[in-house]
A and B are shown apart, each in its own frame.
Chain A
């Protein structure tokens, strides 16, 4: 199976900060990469599909980029409601998720 890693595992940032989360695949997955946001006690929500396609209703401060084995999720101006855990997931082969990045607000 394709292994997904994320860095950092957690971060703390201030409102208005630019935040970047990195996701790496153990082999090339082209752009078959999705990003999810999960808040405590809730199901994950799809933010970005195919590495960079923002889902309907997702704020424009979220963006995704990358291809092959390296991908990033960027929050251009962190808001209080963005406090959550973010997961990447590859859909190239047997579907696997990254371990998550917990984002806290300072």
Chain B
């Protein structure tokens, strides 16, 4: 059974940092692209970042709204993906989902989501 479990979310003050983890099982992690997608009632679903598999260079890309502040990484030995979020803003408040797919743009498997609230 494919499983993705996000952790690390919570309440954080503006300007601070948070690191999300996505622990996975049940599929060949190192063959998959890993992505983060966030959702708010106001803006809906918004792609945040992806990282390709090592076979495709392991390169990453980011939405313009988070570029320079967020960093995605992966540990294939542990089947875990991370999203380091720095300089957080109130607009980053959302439920953050981890997703996996053969290709970066197809979100085949999803975690249950991790809420992040940026507020004083």
Q: Which residues of A contact B (CB under 8 A)?
A: 32, 34, 36, 42-46, 49, 55, 87, 89-92, 94-97, 99-100
Contact = CB atoms under 8 A, between A and B. Distances in A.
Contacts of B46: 97
A43 to B, nearest CB: 4
Interface stretch (B24-32, B70-78, B104-112): B104-112
B106 A46 contact: yes
Interface residues on B, range: 10 to 19
A46 B109 CA distance: 7
B45 A91 contact: no
Interface of chain B, helix or strand or loop or mixed? loop
Contacts of B57: none
A95 B110 contact: no
Nearest to A32: B105
7 contacts: A34-B106, A43-B111, A44-B110, A46-B108, A91-B105, A95-B105, A97-B44
Interface string B62-95: 0110000000000000000000000000000000
A96 B110 contact: no
B45 A44 contact: yes
A95 B108 contact: no
Given A44-B45, A97-B44, A36 B105 contact: no
A96 B48 CA distance: 10
Given A43-B110, A43-B113, A46-B107, A94 B63 contact: yes
A103 B78 CA distance: 39
Contacts of B47: 94-97
Contacts of A46: 101, 106-109
Contacts of A94: 47, 63-64
B115 to A, nearest CB: 12
Given A55-B108, A94-B63, A43 B97 contact: yes
B118 interface: no
Residue among A36, A89, A90, A92 with the most chain B CB within 10 A?
A89
Nearest to B47: A95
A44 B64 CA distance: 23
